[in-house]
Structure 1
Amino acid sequence: MGPDTWGQLVEAGYRLSDRTLYLRSPAFRGDDVRALQRMLNALGFDAGKEDGIFGPRTDRAVREFQRNVASRVDGIVGLDTVHAISRYRPPVDAPSRAVVREGEAARGPGLALSGSVIAIEPDRVDEDAADVSLAIARELSEALIHLGARPLLLREGTEVPPVDERIRRANAGDAAALISIAVGTGEQVERGSACFHYGTPTTHSPMGRRLAESIQPELVRRLGLPDAGLHPRSIAILRETRMPAVRIEPAVAIDRDGATRMVEPNFARDVALAIAEGVLAFSRPAPADLARST
């Protein structure tokens, strides 16, 4: 079990009112924070992305709620504030303001590719002994430069920085999009090529999903592997970054021949070109059917 999975299990153990929440460093994280954000958003108090992190935006939303109900404005979410929010019966089944805003943005061009910073995160897992993800990232960096973008590699050597540091660098770099690449993690999906975007049972990133939808068909076409589909995930690199973000698993649960192919130079180049073509497609206006449905 990786640290990201363990962190999700710990966070899932909290329910709203289990503990007192407030703005601090390090921030409170967990399902209780996500539930709070969802309720505040549903009531019209903009807590932003429902990422389960009690940051400044959530703090502002809490204070605005407290101000509107003539409560003590201290940003502290104890039993009194939880009960006050619950009394208003927020319609939590409706999309949050953050999702609606992002959905509106997803109807237009994904990004202006020329000059945009694209963060590239080559993750490395035990199964990726040859560090294929780094080879893909380097090829992708070159491909994006040819498209006029400015790649930001979040790892350039064999040492893998902590995920918090990679997230910090992506956010600080003002990246317009983030591409995370992992080889061999086996994210519990079907065999083949897969893309992941931020999502939970109650919320998701429309822009992240659209980026994944732009890349996935290019992966399948270039690699010739089965289409393992698009999947929502709430891993940190997708949840805590502020830009549209996807995680690419180019070859999940492949056979021995496929494993041999992965260490060939052409494999990294093919994956990189597929991702670059997907990013280029993402930079164009949304297809008419997506513009109507998002």
Structure 2
Amino acid sequence: MKDAPPKPIRFGDLGLRLASGVALALIALVDLWMGGFWVAALVAVALVLMLWELHRMVTGDADLLAPSFVVLGICGAGAVFVTLFLGLPAGLACLVAGGALVFAYGGRRVGWLVGGLGYMGGAMCALIPLRNLEPSGMIVVLWLVIVVVATDVGAYFVGRMVGGPRLWARVSPGKTRSGAVGGLVAAALVGLPLGIWAGLGPVEALLLSLGASVASQAGDLLESAVKRRFGVKDASHLIPGHGGVMDRLDGLMGAVWLLAICGLFGLGSLG
């Protein structure tokens, strides 16, 4: 009996992913360079869109005027601007107040909404003080974003070319262990020189790049687990070739949480 032919390497969605990815990158780069209010505005819009995706996913209600979503959106966007003007602790307090309001309102699966507001809102708010770090906040955020993108690209190509055992088949059947390693290697290759440029020492730049890559992949798996729980493939179809905003930023949020935890415990010069 002849061996079955190898499965073709499928990159059918590469062109669309690349085009929309480049467009998003240009918008983000200009916004990051402008800083201040413009960064907060873009972060707030992204957070509100992700909260809409979460609300749609867990409640089945995509109505922009649904009371629970209105509370989520106002509190999420408000927390971002409160962080800009009053600092991260005040922004986090706004998220806590918003979570309490959503919980008091009740409704279907309210715990998922409150948890999503805390997790996604906390990560997005933390981007504001990270961008405002002196004197190299823009470079630090750029380093973090590029490490996350390198992780995604490395995992995408290595996973599809090499294949092999699944990373966590029950949660995300498309992700492989080879892809995870490819993402780590890619993150280290780009993260080391960029981290040094951002003012980190070589060892610190390497370790934080690897840690951010692991956290990025963990954030990706977390979102995959939520989507699988509610039986959806993509958070939405807002971004051609990438799915939803949550699908695009899940890794970045995981990496931001890692830096926030490092800063909380005084680990690394970024804290």
Q: Report the TM-score when normalising by structure 2.
A: 0.27
Higher-strand-fraction structure: 1
Q: Report the TM-score when normalising by structure 1.
A: 0.26
**Greater Cα radius of gyration, structure 1 or 2:** 1
Higher-helix-fraction structure: 2
